[in-house]
Structure 1
Amino acid sequence: MPQLPRPARLDGAVTAQGGRCFWCGRAFGPLVPPTVDHVVPRARGGPSWAENEVAACHRCNAQRGHRSPVEWLEECLRRGWPVEVAALDRVLERLDAAVGERGGQRRARPYLRGQLRRLAGIMPEDGSRQG
């Protein structure tokens, strides 16, 4: 299945997220443009697939750097941002399914599975927002 071009994938992520940063919840606009954030960082073998991309504000994308998604989620929660724990779980599960279908991603697989296990330990029973 061919991937959409990166700008189209970003537009799709912005729409799916209701025009807000995946991590801090700030609304995108002229002063807060969206950027592509790889949930499993490229440095950890994360692919440039729609399943591994969310829309994030520049501040979140830059401050996160190569931190793991669960580590950054925990930092967002400490900051009191309205990050949705269940949303990260859905993204990681969707990516895991895509890797299973498409194959490859030798470096990303164990990293992704570790993140899912770690997230399961902090996931609230109802998957509600925290903060």
Structure 2
Amino acid sequence: MEQPQLDRVQRMAAVLERDGPTCAWCGRTFEGRVVPTTDHLVPRVKGGPSWLENEVAACRRCNGERGHRGAADWLEECHRRGWPADDERVRRVLGLLEAAIGRRGGQRRARVNLATQARRLRRGG
């Protein structure tokens, strides 16, 4: 049976519990002025759902700078900048999203973006 949908605050808490207290992109620890935000791996404007399986924690700087870029593009940019982006976390959460869409159905627009990002990440960028 499918779990009830969590609200935004509950999803953020669940993401931090699942992935730890660091930004998926730059690796900064969430403390003091570094506050976690919910970052959708498949952006909402590209059909990405607000599901736990589509979200990672990101600092405000990374979330804002990433904008609507795909996860593979932003990982590439983070590495170019010398940041310790968590490739494995991003791959794992994209896999969770793929499985969730398989179970729940729908998400036609998100499926296309997800497939492209997953393929690029499997190739290594």
Q: What TM-score do you get using the length of structure 1 for normalisation?
A: 0.89
Match of 2:87 in 1: 85
Could you list the structure 1 runs, at least 4 aligned residues long, displaced by more than 4 angstroms after superposition.
Answer: none
Match of 1:126 in 2: none
- Following TM superposition, by how much is the alpha carbon of 1:18 offset from its aligned partner in structure 2, in angstroms? 2.0
Unaligned 5+ segments in structure 1 are: 124-131
CA contact (8 A) 2:37 2:59 kept: yes
Distance 2:86 2:40 in 1: 17
Identical columns (%)? 56
Match of 1:100 in 2: 102
Match of 1:63 in 2: 65
Letter in 1 for 2:36: P
Unaligned 5+ segments in structure 2 are: none
Alignment of 1:117-128 (within 5 A): 117-122=119-124
Distance 1:85 1:41 in 2: 17
Distance 1:29 1:56 in 2: 12
Match of 2:24 in 1: 22
Match of 1:129 in 2: none
For the residue of structure 2 that corresponds to 1:107, the secondary structure is helix
- Following TM superposition, by how much is the alpha carbon of 1:100 offset from its aligned partner in structure 2, in angstroms? 0.6
Distance 1:15 1:54 in 2: 11
Is residue 33 from structure 1 mapped to residue 35 from structure 2 by the alignment?
Answer: yes
1:84-119 residue CA offsets vs partner (Å, 9 max, x unmatched): 222211111110010011000010111111111111
Bigger proportion of residues as helix: 2
Match of 1:73 in 2: 75
Q: What TM-score do you get using the length of structure 2 for normalisation?
A: 0.93
Number of residue pairs aligned between Structure 1 and Structure 2? 123
Distance 2:40 2:20 in 1: 18
Q: 2:9 aligns with which of 7, 12, 32?
A: 7
CA contact (8 A) 2:19 2:89 kept: no
1:38-97 residue CA offsets vs partner (Å, 9 max, x unmatched): 010001100000000111100000000000010000001111111122221111111001
1:2-29 residue CA offsets vs partner (Å, 9 max, x unmatched): 1111101101112222211111110101
